[in-house]
Structure 1
Amino acid sequence: MKPIIVVRRYEDKDLLQMQEVIRNYVMSMFSNAFWFCLFREITLQLIVLSTAIFFIFIGIPLIYCLSSVPVVVVLIAVCVYCSHYNKAIEMSNMHAPVCFVVDLYEPFTILLDKKELEYIHLTEEELKNHQDEIKKMRPKRVVGTISTRNHQALHESAWIYRIAVDPNYSFVQITKPMIFQVMEHAYVNGMFTAETTCAECHEDVRELMLKIGFNIRQIYHKTIIGSSLRVMKAQLGIDLQKFYKNHQNKEILNQQRDYNKSEY
């Protein structure tokens, strides 16, 4: 029996589970971010600076000044961890006009790695026809979330943000239906494009977006500490009109688009 995932609108009762998913997802990226920062120019600059301080101002023998290397490494690790922890809290408490979550129904016994499992994606209506299977599974739990709002710079464009998935489960299989749900929601509410951004260390998000059909609008560098530490980010976007041009539910979507009141 395969696990079942259902994408639905966020409810107030989902708050605690959603916040836990966001915190775990953000903190799971600590390792990649740490190695990313460790091999930047700022690491060498800090080692040279700390060695000079130890040798010139404190008078420590030069051979012992090599202890500045592990000190700098630990300092970078602490800074990266604190920044991720702060980001996790910020994202958890961020207001989202439109938010979706993913419910997971999984069997009581799972022998394979959870990241290697294949999931059955159902809508809320389709789930009603699988109640017999649901009764044989564990109680549902939130394993993913995604939010969207009106783009602040582009007219009639949706902004996709706050994507988070439980790190114990397959990122691609859970994130993909969430993105499609947000795109459909944006389309039926009169949006013409959907935009988002991702950092260079978030390769899984960028690759998934490109496979779905997003295009790279531009690549830019976000400055963190002068020119010593900058993060390359990519702005991704998709034309919803072209994407749904040959969609099998085009007539239904167009009807909803004409009569549905925008939630943005």
Structure 2
Amino acid sequence: MTSSQMSNPSKVSQRYVLIRPFSQGDEIDCKKIAGFSVMSTVNRTFFSALFRETTFQLMVFLSAVLFIIVGIPFFYCAVSVPLTITFLYSAIWSSAMMKSLEIQNELSLVKQQYQESSDKTTFLVAEYYGPHLDLNPGENITFINLSNFQGLEDELSNKSKKLVGFLGITRNKDKACSSWLRRFAVDQQFKRKKIATELISTASHFCYERGYASIEVCITECQQEAKEFFLHHEFELEQLYHKSIMGSTAVYTKYLFRKDLKHTKSALNA
């Protein structure tokens, strides 16, 4: 610790989050955040599917198969209940794991898919700088960008840093004037610290400058926090539809949200 820091303890405890473009080496932390984010929805998806009518129909069907075809005494056909539950959870967990692996594979190719392919795509990360002994991570954060990062280099060099979030914007293949919020996640420990808000704000500026008329994003019914977040940040529900994991047993709702970008500088900066 330098003498100037000792004389000003507030500097030592000051916390910053730098919003910047992705750089080589960030993929390791991004993969960790993405993996946890995807797998954290497994239990909510499972309980949502567990109490659907089709799940009970599957239990009855399995009991009938065990009794009529296999010849198991009817009393023991109750084993169909734990078997169905186990099968259901395994299917949902496997689906989430495949999704996680798909995202992690994509995160290995960020430069090619988001930065080198077009000037209308981007991948942003949020990098946290805090005390080495951080008892209240995420508290009293000052958000900065690359333009004011240089003036703080000496102070930030004495802090612990950690990547805590990311966001990826691509072209919307279905709508020429719309962008697609393809990837978006924040470290669990740093949620509700306005990091997601800052990432969305920076992405909105990027999309506005590139001439996009809107940003669209798709989430599932199990992402309740994300749903509330987008509604709070002026996204509107554009469409909802259903997607199945295994037939009609594990079916969940997906929401398509859209945020229209106001093409005036004063409105964008408001």
Deviation at 1:76, TM superposition (A): 1.2
Q: Map 1:17-28; keep pairs closer than 5 Å.
A: 17-28=29-40
Q: Distance in 2 between matches of 1:4 and 1:55?
A: 64
Q: How far apart, in 1, do the equivalents of 2:82 and 2:14 lie?
A: 47
Contact 1:192–1:240 (8 Å) recurs in 2: yes
Native 8 Å contact 2:92 2:245 kept in 1: no
Check 1:243–1:235 CA distance in 2 against 1; reply closer, same or farther (3 A cut): farther
Superposed, which structure 2 residues align to 1:62-211 within 5 Å? 62-94=74-106, 96-97=113-114, 98-112=122-136, 114=137, 117-138=139-160, 140-170=161-191, 173-211=194-232
Deviation at 1:103, TM superposition (A): 0.8
SS at match of 2:241: strand
Instruction: List alignment gaps of at least 5 residues for structure 1.
Output: 250-264
- Asked whether the 8 Å contact 1:41–1:229 carries over to 2, the reply is no
TM-score by length of 2: 0.82
Q: Which secondary structure state, in structure 2, belongs to the residue aligned with residue 231 of structure 1?
A: strand
Over 3 Å counting, the alpha-carbon distance change for 1:226 and 1:240 in structure 2 is same
Offset at residue 42 of structure 1 (A): 2.8
**Alpha-carbon RMSD:** 2.2
Corresponding residue SS for 2:267: coil
Matched, 1:217 2:211: no
Residue pair 1:117, 1:170 contacting (<8 A) in 2 also? no
Identify if the C-alpha distance between structure 1 residues 83 and 20 changes in structure 2 by more than 3 Å, giving closer, same or farther. same
Q: Secondary structure at the match of 1:80?
A: helix
How far has the Cα of 1:246 moved from its partner? 2.5
**What's the offset of the Cα at 1:228?**
4.2
Change in Cα spacing, 1:243 to 1:214, as seen in structure 2 (3 Å) is farther
Do residues 45 (structure 1) and 57 (structure 2) align?
A: yes
Give the aligned partner of residue 25 of structure 2: 13
Aligned length: 246
Q: Structure 1 residues 33, 118: CA separation in 2 closer, same or farther (over 3 Å shift)?
A: farther
Cα gap change, 1:76 to 1:200, in 2 (>3 Å)? same
- State the distance in 2 between where 1:32 and 1:171 align: 20
Partner SS state of residue 205, structure 1:
helix
Contact 2:205-2:268 at 8 Å conserved across structures: no
Q: SS of the residue aligned with 2:48?
A: helix
User: Between the two proteins, what is the percent identity of the paired residues?
Assistant: 26
Quick one: distance in 2 between partners of 1:50 and 1:245?
62
Deviation at 1:213? 0.9
| Paired residues of 2:237 and 2:255 also in contact (CA < 8 A) | yes
> CA separation in 1, counterparts of 2:207 and 2:268?
15
Q: Distance in 1 between matches of 2:67 and 2:17?
A: 59
Distance 1:117 1:31, change over 3 A: farther
Cα deviations across residues 118-159 of structure 1 (Å, max 9, x unaligned)? 432221222333334423421x22221111111111122111
TM-aligned CA distance change 1:227 to 1:74, over 3 Å = closer
Partner of 2:118: none
